[in-house]
């Protein structure tokens, strides 16, 4: 986790030097592993750090596991426990990668641009290559990004039985960059 924190510190430091780096500390990650049998495994975290370099396409986010808010506090306790995300041992999860087709995006012109993001997703102690479609929106000079994808929880060491907790969690990430 120290490597991830250092990475984001360096990216934020570079943001002050290079105007093409956009950042936010209030991106949102939504998590939904609910099932028909148990529809309460849904949460949201609105304190996610995100960075986008508009020149190179470098992109990343980091979310504190304990900042996910569930309506049902018992589910929140399970989410932070050892069988799920084990927030005591693994306090964050992170994504670092690159917008592979950043040249498609005209940051000087309003529009919504479909892009692909490729990189690595780290959950608990597991890091795997991860690619997903995403959108970058430019409106009145402001940049935002969004992506929705599924994460197979058992692949990342998260216990999910498929009955009470879906094995494939739906995840949405949204960021309004400064």
3-state DSSP call for residue 12? helix
Reported as half-sphere exposure (CB side, CA atoms, 13 A), residue 129 has a value of 1
pTM (2 decimals)?
0.85
Could you report the per-residue pLDDT of 162-174, keeping only the tens digit for each?
888 899 999 999 9
Instruction: Give the pLDDT of residue 44.
Output: 97
Strands 142-152 and 69-70: unpaired
Say if residue 9 is exposed, middle or buried (CB neighbours under 10 Å; 0-12, 13-18, 19+): exposed
Q: Domains for the chain: give ranges and CATH numbers.
A: 2-177 (2.40.128.110)
Query: Hey, how many other C-beta atoms are within 10 angstroms of the C-beta on 106?
Result: 10
**The residue to which tokens 């197979």 are assigned:** 152
| Mean of all residue pLDDT scores within the chain | 90
Could you report the per-residue pLDDT of 113-122, keeping only the tens digit for each?
999 999 999 9
Instruction: Give the pLDDT of residue 41.
Output: 87
């Amino acid at each position: 986790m120290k490597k991830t924190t250092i990475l984001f510190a360096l990216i934020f430091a570079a943001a002050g030097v290079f105007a093409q780096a956009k950042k936010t500390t209030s991106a949102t990650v939504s998590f939904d592993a609910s099932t028909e049998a148990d529809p309460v495994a849904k949460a949201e975290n609105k304190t996610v750090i995100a960075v986008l370099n508009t020149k190179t396409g470098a992109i990343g986010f980091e979310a504190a596991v304990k900042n996910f808010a569930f309506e049902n506090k018992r589910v929140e306790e399970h989410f932070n426990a050892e069988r799920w995300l084990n927030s005591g041992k693994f306090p964050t999860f992170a994504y670092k990668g690159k917008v592979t087709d950043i040249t498609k995006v005209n940051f000087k012109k309003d529009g919504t641009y479909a892009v692909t993001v490729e990189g690595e997703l780290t959950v608990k102690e597991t890091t795997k290559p991860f690619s997903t479609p995403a959108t970058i929106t430019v409106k009145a000079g402001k940049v935002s990004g969004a992506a929705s994808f599924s994460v197979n929880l058992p692949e990342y060491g998260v216990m999910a039985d498929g009955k009470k907790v879906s094995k494939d969690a739906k995840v949405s990430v949204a960021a309004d960059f400064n």
